[in-house]
Amino acid sequence: MTYLLEFLSSTRNTILTRNPCVCITIAFICGIIGYSVYPLMTTKSTLIGILYLSAIVCICLSRIINSCRIPILLLWFVVGGYVTVGLKELQYGKIPQGNTIYATITSTLEEKQKSYKATIQTIEDIPCKSIVYIKKDSLSKDLSCGDILRIQAKFNLIENQKNATFDFKQFLNLQYIYSQAYISNWEKVGEETSIQSVCIKLRNNALHTLQERGLTDSNLQLIAALAFGDKSLLDEETKFNFSTAGAMHVLAVSGLHVGIINGILFFLFSFIRNKKLQWLKILLCISGIWAYACLTGMSPSVQRASIMCSMVSIALLLQRRTSTYNTLAAAAFFSLLLSPNDIFSVSFQLSYAAVISIVYFGQKIQNLYRPTTPIGSYLWGIIAVSVAVQIGTLPITLYYFGTIPTYSLLTNIIVIPLAFIILICVVFSLAFYWLPIVAETIISILNFTTDYMRDSMFDITTFPHSNIEIQITEHQLCYLYVCIVLLVVIIEYNKQLQIQKDLLRL
Q: Could you tell me if 317 and 277 are in contact, meaning their C-beta atoms sit under 8 angstroms apart? A: no
pLDDT at 181 over 80: yes
Domain housing 18 = 2-89
Q: What pLDDT shows up at residue 2?
A: 55
Q: What is the pLDDT confidence band of residue 10, given thresholds at 50, 70 and 90?
A: low
Pair (59, 121) in one structural domain: no
Task: Select from 192, 224, 250 the last residue of a domain.
Answer: 192
**pLDDT at residue 437 tops 70:** yes
More confident residue, 300 or 439: 439
Confidence band of 504 (pLDDT split at 50, 70, 90): low
pLDDT at 42 (0 to 100) = 80
Please, what's the largest Cα pairwise distance for the chain? 83
Number of domains comprising the chain: 3
Residue ending a domain, choose from 89, 118, 142: 89
**What does the pLDDT read at residue 448?**
92
Query: Are 230 and 335 in a shared domain?
Result: yes
Among 180-189, 198-207, 314-323, the range scoring the smallest mean pLDDT is: 314-323
Left, alpha or beta for 402 (phi > 0: left; psi -120 to 50: alpha)?
left
Q: What is the pLDDT of residue 479?
A: 92
Residue 120 and residue 58 share a domain: no
Give strand pairing partners of 468: 404
**What CATH number is given to the structural domain containing 180?**
2.40.50
Give the pLDDT mean for 445-467.
Answer: 87
Residue 423 falls within a domain, yes or no? yes
Per-residue pLDDT at 12 exceeds 70: no
Beta strands in 371-412, from DSSP E residues, in sequence order? 403-405
Residue 17 confidence (pLDDT): 62
* Same domain flag for 300 and 407: yes
The answer as to whether 413 is a domain residue is yes
Same structural domain, 147 and 212? no
Question: Which range among 13-17, 148-152, 214-218, 233-237 shows the weakest confidence by mean pLDDT?
Answer: 13-17
User: What's the pLDDT tens digit per position in 211-267?
Assistant: 888 888 888 888 888 888 777 777 888 888 888 887 777 777 777 778 778 877 877
Asked whether residue 94 is assigned to any structural domain, the reply reads: no
3-class state of residue 105 by DSSP: strand
Does residue 5 carry a pLDDT above 60?
Answer: no
Q: What is the pLDDT of residue 28?
A: 92
pLDDT score of 40 = 81
pLDDT of residue 191: 85
Average pLDDT over residues 368-389: 82
Residue 503 forms part of a structural domain: no
Residue 318: CB atoms within 10 Å:
10
67 and 135, same domain (yes or no): no
State which of 159, 192, 225 marks the end of a domain.
Answer: 192
Q: Say what the pLDDT of residue 506 is.
A: 61
Tell whether 16 and 47 lie within a shared domain.
yes
Query: For strand 115-122 and strand 156-157, is the pairing parallel, antiparallel, or unpaired?
Result: unpaired
Confidence band of 361 (pLDDT split at 50, 70, 90)? confident
Examine residue 61 and state whether it is found in any structural domain, yes or no. Answer: yes
Residue 310 has pLDDT above 70, yes or no: yes
| Domain assignment present for 500 | no
Integer CA distances (angstroms), 444 to 315, 429, 438, 496, in order: 39, 10, 10, 55
What's the average model confidence in pLDDT over 413-432? 86
Residue 71 falls inside a structural domain: yes
- Domain-embedded: residue 502: no
Q: 226 and 370: one domain?
A: yes
- More confidently predicted of 445 and 499: 445
Give the distance, in angstroms, between the CA of residue 490 and the centroid of all CA atoms in the same chain.
30
Q: Read off the pLDDT of each residue in 49-65 and give the average, rounded to a whole number.
A: 82
Confidence of residue 286 (pLDDT cuts 50, 70, 90): confident
Backbone angle region of 184, left / alpha / beta, with phi > 0 → left and psi within -120 to 50 → alpha: alpha
Identify whether residues 84 and 104 lie together within a single domain: no
Residues 288 and 422 placed together within one structural domain of the fold: yes
Assess whether 279 and 171 both reside in one domain.
no
- pLDDT per position as a tens digit, 185-211: 888 888 887 777 777 788 888 888 888
- The mean of the pLDDT values for the chain is 81
User: Helix, strand, coil shares of the chain as percentages rounded to 5?
Assistant: 65, 10, 25
Tell whether 185 and 321 lie within a shared domain.
no
